[in-house]
Structure 1
Amino acid sequence: MGNTLIQADDTLTLWGIIVIVASLSIFLEQRFSWAAKITGAIIALLIAILLSNTGIIPTESAVYDSVWSIIVPLAIPLLLFHVNIKKLFKESGRLLMIFLISSVGTVAGTIIAFFILKDHIPLLNKLAAMFSASYIGGGVNFAAMSAKFETPGELVSSAVVADNLNMALLFVILMVIPTMQFFRKKYKTPHIDELESQSNKDQVNQSKAYWKAKEISLKDIALSVGTAFALVILAKKVSTWFDTLIPSGEDVNFLLNLLNGLIGDQYLMLTTFTFLALLLFPKFFDSLSGSQEIGTYLIHIFFVVIGIPASIPLIIENAPLLLIFAFIIVAINLIVSLVGAKVFKFELEETLLAVNANIGGPTTAAALAIAKGWSNLVGPILIVGTLGYIIGNYVGTFLGLWLEGFM
């Protein structure tokens, strides 16, 4: 990290690079048809991977942590301000089913990957616990399982590197699948179809048509950003209070763990408070313009940061087999999810979001929905994906203990 051109503590320059890359990716997406097919989110992610792997920027910095802790939470309410509440609850039930099917894919993938590689990777049962929990809930579960099974620090570090590169590859795959005619023919794609129907065929591309210029005032910007900050602060304070108040952990019963996971989680509380605000003050939110644009811009900043830790040299040096282990889990998850979606006639969009919510957690799934313009699925996937925080730890614990007998 110290050998990079830009140092980790050069805050201004790193923020500038992240913002410039996000801005450039949006410009390219709306200016060129080839970039629109790739999407601005993938362009941002790929540029970030290039910058970090060529030694221009470090793979770790407090700046990136700020994006996770401030930019991402701020983007969520901004994107939810114009959500159709009635449609949201209708979509949540379907998403829950495909999310659970996708979780089964993670379990199957972990077991298969374990038996393929158990003779080649030390302490693989501990890693199986970490990856299975993480690939149902997210990074929170990864940390919880590594602590629970007392995984050696150097192994955890290698696993994190493998996970980061694997996640970057997955985002690219999930962004590309909806553009492929093979999948468009096999699955229903109502959200994509709606976007295409709204697009003017004379425009350069659908992205430019969807994000066409609209009237927005200084007051709109002030109220949108100010309200989003208020909701983020409220959710953070309330969830932290509940997390402290309600006990959790391996020595605590299931109901208390469940309650802590539901109301002690910042993102679920943020989603809940935003929905309450939408129900209580519908006219206020209907009058706001520009919140979707601001939120989407923030999400592009997030996609830049997603690509930065994907260090290819570190993978080659420290964790090639771990990358294969993680890739097998993700590949089987995706296959099981797509087959399940075909059998139960789920839509392609909700299937891909369920996969994303499993592997990357609810916030990255919401980012995918935002990047693709599936705004009505942002709220539901945040709700459904948050349940993975709870389910993941139980699955990871069971698999870690069971697979230990095969080591």
Structure 2
Amino acid sequence: MEQTLIKPDDYITLWGIIVVWAAVSIFLEQRFSWASKISGAIIALIGAIILSNTGVIPTDSPVYDAIWSFIIPLAIPLLLFHVNFKRIWQESGKMLIIFLISSIGTVAGTIISFFLLKDHIPYLDKIGAMMSASYVGGGVNFAAMAGKFETPGEMVSATVVADNLMMALYFVVLMTIPTMHFFRKRFNTPHVLEVERNSNNTDGKTLAESFWSRKDISLKDMALSIGTAFFLVMVSFKIAAFFDGIIPSGDNVSFFFNLLNGLFGDNYLVLTTITFIALALFPRYFESINGSQEMGTLLIYLFFVVIGVPASIPLIIQNAPLLLLFVAIIVIINMIVSLGAGKLLKYDLEDILLVSNANIGGPTTAAAMAIAKGWKNLIGPILVVGTIGYIIGNYIGTTLGLWFGTMM
């Protein structure tokens, strides 16, 4: 068990550190131009990496699990209350093609990385199955493949550590790319330009401070925002659990039933769908609520802090330097394929970066990036498109794992 200044069961202190550091990150982003350029999301993430790697906070705690299972579901509807409903479906259809191409990048990266390192890393056929499924879908696919291929526990742990560090580093890269002249000269960036236009001012405020300017908000707004979000989460998760229970899934079940279970039994996909239905049925109600965007974004900043926590550099050096190289090759090839295909098909840079993020980190990290960057019309679409990765990830992982197994 790791020795840290703050123990994993010191819940109030850990919650305090997460909330305080998220608040500091938002303050710095809105107060200083250097921090605005880096973004509060990266400040939150890097701060957490430093705290966990210097032994101040543990890399694992029930507090972090609560952020994933409780805070993120609550943030999603809050952030969708004021999106342009018509544009969601237009953007989703357009994003799906580049998302699937990005998934091909993951498959290609896994195959290349496997052949380069199969003689140096034990159980790489099983790890390849886990990582290809995870880097198309998310953590749920990783766990499913680890169980299916019966990967030894120590290799699962080492792979998780490599994955966490890689994801944190890649998130920083993706957040930085839209600020670089090289990429902005070669790709269309309409959402970046829109944020900059809306934030164009002469009073010395940072871009983030201008975007998040003070708004009229009442106690009733706060109560309705949080109450409605809780209601949508509660109803959606119950519906998803119901369908997950009655629709069969697993290795011995047909593709059709697995697909149905993936569509109707997934918490996030049902939550996003139910929220969209509510937005369509009661548009005036949601337009009348102020502050939901701000509250949802604050919750997402807690998530940014937690992303950085498990990225343990000493554990990588001790246990998994080659595994870090394995996942790095997959991520680099995914990025090259995504950017290359996106350029060829004339996709916006924002769409390309978000689908690559959704592949590697899952729809929640991609939505978090869209929120941090102020690309509010892309939050809904990337949640919809990214969730498709959960459905196809297990099929990709299973196929590659069985193929790789014949060569080990």
Residue aligning to 2:176: 176
1:119 equivalent in structure 2: 119
Query: Helix, strand or coil for the counterpart of 1:170?
Result: helix
CA distance in 1, matches of 2:3, 2:406: 43
In the alignment, what sits opposite 1:108? 108
Is 1:399 paired with 2:400?
Answer: yes
Q: Residues 14-93 of structure 1: matches in 2 within 5 Å?
A: 14-93=14-93
- The CA deviation string for residues 200-237 of structure 1, in whole angstroms up to 9 with x for no partner, is 33232211110011111110000001100111111111
- Alignment match, 1:237: 238
AA in 2 matched with 1:346: Y
Q: Counterpart of 2:260? A: 259
| Matched letter for residue 258 of structure 2 | N
Q: Bigger shift: 12-21 or 192-201?
A: 192-201
Letter in 1 for 2:403: W
Name the SS of the counterpart of 1:406 in structure 2.
coil
Q: Does 1:161 align with 2:161?
A: yes
The corresponding residue for 1:317 is: 318
Q: Which moved more, 1:302-311 or 1:233-242?
A: 233-242
In 1, Cα distance between the equivalents of 2:112 and 2:383?
29
Name the residue aligned to 1:131: 131
Structure 2 counterpart SS, 1:87 = helix
> CA–CA distance in 1 between the matches of 2:245 and 2:308?
33
Looking at structure 1, the residues matched to 98 and 29 of structure 2 have their Cα atoms a distance apart, in angstroms, of: 30
Deviation per CA, 1:15-36: give whole Å up to 9, x if none.
0000000000000000000000
Deviation track 1:154-198 (CA, whole Å, cap 9, x = no partner) reads: 000000000000000010000000000111111001101111111
Q: Hey, what's the Cα distance between the residues in 2 that align with 1:224 and 1:250?
A: 41
Separation (CA, whole Å) in 2 of partners of 1:245 and 1:374: 37
Aligned partners of 1:236 and 1:86: how far apart in 2?
A: 25
Alpha-carbon offset, residue 405 of structure 1: 1.7
Counterpart residue number, 1:335: 336
Q: Spell out the pairing of 1:156-235 with structure 2 (5 A cutoff).
A: 156-202=156-202, 203-235=204-236
1:288-318 deviations in whole A, cap 9, x for unaligned?
1110000111100000000000000000000
2:148 corresponds in structure 1 to: 148
Distance 1:206 1:98 in 2: 29
Query: In the alignment, what sits opposite 1:300?
Result: 301
Q: What is the letter of the counterpart of residue 46 of structure 1?
A: I
Deviation, 1:2, is 4.2
- Separation (CA, whole Å) in 1 of partners of 2:90 and 2:320: 43
1:269-290 per-residue CA deviation (whole Å, 9 max, x = no partner) reads 0001100110111000001111
- In structure 1, what is the Cα distance between the partners aligned to 2:5 and 2:86? 50
Partner amino acid for 1:17? I
**Structure 1 residue 246 displacement after superposition:** 0.8
Distance 2:311 2:2 in 1: 17
1:286 aligns with 2:283: no
Write the letter of the residue equivalent to 1:70.
Answer: F
Q: Secondary structure at the match of 2:402?
A: helix
SS of match in other structure, 2:406: helix
Distance (whole Å) between structure 1 residues aligned to residue 242 and residue 55 of structure 2: 41
Alignment partners' CA distance in 2, 1:312 and 1:244: 40
Please tell me the residue identity of whatever aligns with 1:249.
G
Which amino acid in 2 is paired with 1:248?
S
Code of the residue aligned with 2:60 in structure 1: it is E
What is the CA-CA distance between 1:123 and the residue it aligns to? 1.0
Partner of 2:249: 248
TM-score when scaled to structure 2? 0.99
**C-alpha distance after superposition, 1:1-51 (max 9, x if no partner):** 541000000000000000000000000000000000100000000000000
Aligned-pair CA distance for 1:93: 1.0
**What is the letter of the counterpart of residue 381 of structure 1?**
I
Equivalents in 2 of 1:42, 1:33: separation in Å? 14
How far, CA to CA, are the matches of 1:386 and 1:200 in structure 2?
34
Q: Displacement of 1:354 after TM fit?
A: 0.2
- Partner of 2:150, secondary structure, is coil
Distance in 1 between residues matched to 2:60 and 2:289, nearest whole Å = 37
Deviations 1:332-366 (A, max 9, x none): 00000000000000000010000011011111111
4+ residue segments displaced more than 2 Å: none
* Aligned residue number for residue 369 of structure 2: 368
Cα distance in 1, alignment partners of residues 153 and 76 from structure 2:
33
In 1, distance between residues paired with 2:302 and 2:374?
16
Identity of aligned residues (%): 68
Offset of 1:244 from its aligned partner? 1.1
Post-superposition Cα deviations, 1:82-107, rounded to whole Å, max 9, x if no partner, equal: 01111111101111011001000000
Unaligned ranges ≥5, structure 2: none
